[in-house]
Each structure stands twice: as structure tokens, then as C-alpha cells.
Amino acid sequence: MFALSSAALLSFVLLAAPAGASGPSSLPVCESGTRHLELTADTPRTTYEVCIHPGVSSSFLFNVKLKRVELPGRERFRVMQDETGLLLVPTRALKDGERVPVTVHFQDGATPASVTFALVVHPAEAERQVEVLLQPRTVASYREGEQRALEEVQQCQQEKARLRTECAGQVGLTGLFAQKLIGEEGVPSKDIRESISAHPGNTLTATKAHSYRSNTKRREGGRKVVRLVVVQEFHNNGKTAWTPAGAVLVGSQGQEWKALGLWPLEPIAPGKRRLVVVEVEATEEQARGTFSLKLWNQEGGGQSERFEGVTFP
């Protein structure tokens, strides 16, 4: 009965656009491209949150020379610094949701004399480059910003057109057929409840678990891309509500696939159960083997739950 009742959930998540957070989160919003900060003498003193992730480099570029860098727990980072740049690679010693302050001081009487960042360890994402400008914007920089904005709008329009073409106005099973997500073999499913194990200290336990695989029309590097879905019924053993905020599928070598769909983004009350659906895309070759699923709580400061033994049909 569980597999049949999950079909409606599977149809929804396969047709849905990538999900975003539905409410305020203790984790910052991570920018995917280059982040630009402009500081002047009138800029209010504030701490800028920057997403970091173990093993992923984050670079800070400045248009003035650096005097010194204050980084508590420096031994937990690989640090490279030159006159106008700082590169940080966090190690696995840092935990999800942890916040590390770093203050950069400038030479030559720059105004402001320093800037402080809060490095927030995100379970899946990192901001790869932050550019800091310590002077009033020129006409050229305004034009550059305008051009970047136009390019981002164009990308959004192209993505919107792609989604419209994929869905073609169809919903439910018809929509799955229209997108060629259902072939002659249907959507293979697998009961994985017996193979899944929760990490010690998890707040959630999985009382039911199924995985699904479907085809797509896309190829990457000549390799066929498939969609993978994990449907789990979670029981909240904690004393506070647990609200899904994000998820990644982690391979045996540490490679990560960020969730394209996470549904529903609703709290699981203490002592209650709720189905949670996670969807990712990978190549057929990447979909083989055993994975772990990592989810994090909207109210938990980035604290993650981890489940080992995820496999797909």
C-alpha cells in the first residue's frame, strides 16, 4: 500500500520546479555566482554571512591591500593569502551550521579600515567568490552591474521556457508521459527500509522508505541522465518541530548531488510522522552503488540528519 500511495507524491515531485525554502531559515541564502560587496565610509558596520562547505574553496578579492586577517581556529582551514586576496578551504573538522568569524584589516588608511564576515558551514552549498570594493561606484561599475542583471534575467527566461516546454501544460501521469519520464518499464521502485540506517544522534527515524528511478530526455557528456527519488516516512523523536529545509545525496567517495525537489516543506511535530520526498538528478553510472541521504532542519542552525544505505532500482 505504501508504494501505491507514494505514486501521487512521486508524480508531484517529478513535475515540480526546484523547491525553495518556504520561510525564514537560520542558514543564509547562498549566492551561486560571484558575490559583490561595495563598502564606503557611510556603509553601516555589519557582519556579512558567507556560506562555506568542507573541501570547497571560497575566495575573497579586494581592491585594496590587506594588512592582517583574524581567523579563530585557523588550523581548521587551508589558508592562502596575498596582497589583495584571501582563499579559504574549510576542513571536515567544521560541523554543519557552525559559524566562524573572520575579520580582514586593510592597509593605507582605507575606509572602512576592516570588514567582518561570518563563515557559515552549509550542509551542501558554498559561495565560491566574494569581491569587495572599497570605493564609490564608477559609471563603468554601474554598467557592469546592469549587464550582469540583464544576463541573469535572460537565464531565468531561458529556464522558464525550458520548464514550459517540458511540462507542455500536462499534469499527473500524462505530464510524466509527455516528459518521457515513464517508459515501457514504468517507474521502477524499491523498498529500502531494511537497508537504511540512521546516524547516531539523529532526531528523525525512518519508519518507511522507498526509492524510485525514472528516465529523462537529457544527456551529460554523452551519458544518460536519470531522476532519482527517495520517499521516507519520518518519525520525529525530538521535543521540537522538525522542518525540512534542504537535502543532498552523498556518494561513497563524498560527491554530492543537491536536491532538485524537496516536498513538503512542512514541520513534523514532536512524536508525529510525515512523508518527505527528495529528488535528485544524476547519470546512469552515478546512480549505481550505495548512498547516504543528508537533510537539514530549517530551525536547527544547519544541523543535519543522515541516513546510510540508500540504493536505487
pLDDT score of 248 more than 90 = yes
Which has the higher per-residue pLDDT, 148 or 237? 237
Q: Which three cell numbers stand for residue 20?
A: 525553495
Here the cell at position 274 is 510525515
Asked whether 270 and 241 are in contact (CB, 8 A), the reply is: yes
Alpha-helical runs (H) found in the chain: 2-15, 139-167, 172-178
Decide if pLDDT at 300 tops 80.
no
Mean pLDDT over residues 235-255, rounded?
Answer: 92
Residue 225 pLDDT exceeds 50: yes
Residues 246 and 228: their CA atoms lie apart, in Å, by: 16
**Are the beta carbons of 190 and 287 closer than 8 angstroms?**
no
**Alpha-carbon gap, residue 196 to 163, rounded angstroms:** 33
Instruction: Please state, for a pLDDT cut of 70, what percent of the chain lies above it.
Output: 80
- pLDDT for res 16: 47
The 10s digit of each residue's pLDDT in 35-57 is 999 998 878 889 999 999 999 99
- Phi/psi for 140 (5° steps) reads -65, -40
Give 291: exposed, middle or buried? Use CB within 10 Å, 0-12, 13-18, 19+: buried
Q: What band does 22 get if pLDDT is binned at 50, 70 and 90?
A: very low
Q: pLDDT value at position 84? A: 95
7 burial via Cβ count (<10 Å: 0-12, 13-18, 19+): middle
For residue range 75-123, what is the model confidence (pLDDT) as tens digits?
999 999 999 999 999 999 999 999 999 999 999 888 899 999 999 999 9
Residue 43 is predicted with a pLDDT of 81
